[in-house]
Amino acid sequence: MPRFSCVLWDLDGTIVDSAPGITSTLAWTFEQLGMPVPTAAQMLVWVGPPLLDSFRELAGLPEDEARAALAVYRERYRTIGVFDATVYAGVDALLGELHAAGVPLSLATSKPESLARAILEHEGLLGELDVITGASEDERRSAKADVVALALQRLRERGFDVSAPVLVGDREHDIEGAAVHGVPTIFAAWGYGSLAESAGAIAIARDPAELRTLLGLVG
């Protein structure tokens, strides 16, 4: 039997490699705003955490300008960048195996739910997850702790067992946000976070096959 009663999944850097679509849209956004375009390595830091926070903290924009920049980004990303993503090899099979085994699964991403749903539907994975939980469209709910809380609530409301949850994610904000609710995290080392960001995780999965074992699937 699986070790955990339910599994929460981050999206960017965990289920899909969405960096190409995000970074290309970011570069376009900076150009539209007349701002210097960060290097590819610098923009990779933006992938995962809430973008509104990054426009404020990384780009140094005040609140009103950060929200305006996010609006420019979203308009382009919704039509072009969102589909420039690829499912990591082996993750789709693992999601299918967990779903078939009856393990409750929820997305728990800081990406707005509508965009997350579009990616999962495009990749044929929407049906593998019982609950889709992400940021609200206005980003008032975007912190990972808030997303995790809602994911657990939605699973509970569906009658699923949330007594022993685990989150799979690739960034330190995944670990920190889950920990607020006492949820342990398995660090997905194939994602965008460095190993230094894995501090606080209960385990590190180097690939989906190792994650399968850590989740307690055997045979």
pLDDT per residue over 199-219, tens digit each? 999 999 999 999 999 999 876
Q: What residues pair up with 142 in beta bridges, in sequence order?
A: none
- pLDDT grade, residue 49 (50/70/90)? confident
Cβ 133 vs Cβ 106: under 8 Å: yes
- Average pLDDT, integer, range 135-164: 94
pLDDT in tens, 25-46: 999 999 999 999 999 889 999 9
Amino acid identity, position 211: L
The CATH superfamily label for domain 19-83 reads Putative phosphatase; domain 2 (1.10.150.240)
CATH architecture of 6-17+86-214: 3-Layer(aba) Sandwich (3.40)
What stretches of the chain adopt beta strand conformation (E)? 6-9, 16-17, 86-87, 105-112, 131-135, 165-169, 185-188, 203-205
- pLDDT grade, residue 175 (50/70/90)? very high
CA-to-CA dists, residue 70 to 13, 51, 78, 129, 199, angstroms: 20, 7, 12, 28, 30
Q: Looking at the annotation, which residues are catalytic?
A: 10
- Average pLDDT, integer, range 138-142: 80
Q: If you count them, how many residues does the chain have?
A: 219
CA angle 201, 206, 212 (to 5 degrees): 85
CA-to-CA dists, residue 105 to 53, 126, 128, 155, angstroms: 27, 11, 8, 8
pLDDT (0 to 100) of residue 9: 98
> For the chain, what percent of residues have pLDDT higher than 90?
90
Q: How far apart are CA 167 and CA 165, in angstroms?
A: 7
pLDDT (0 to 100) of residue 2: 61
Cβ 27 vs Cβ 43: under 8 Å: yes
The pLDDT of residue 171 is above 90: yes
Encoding tokens for residue 154?
């939605």
pTM confidence score: 0.91
Domain ranges of the chain: 6-17+86-214, 19-83
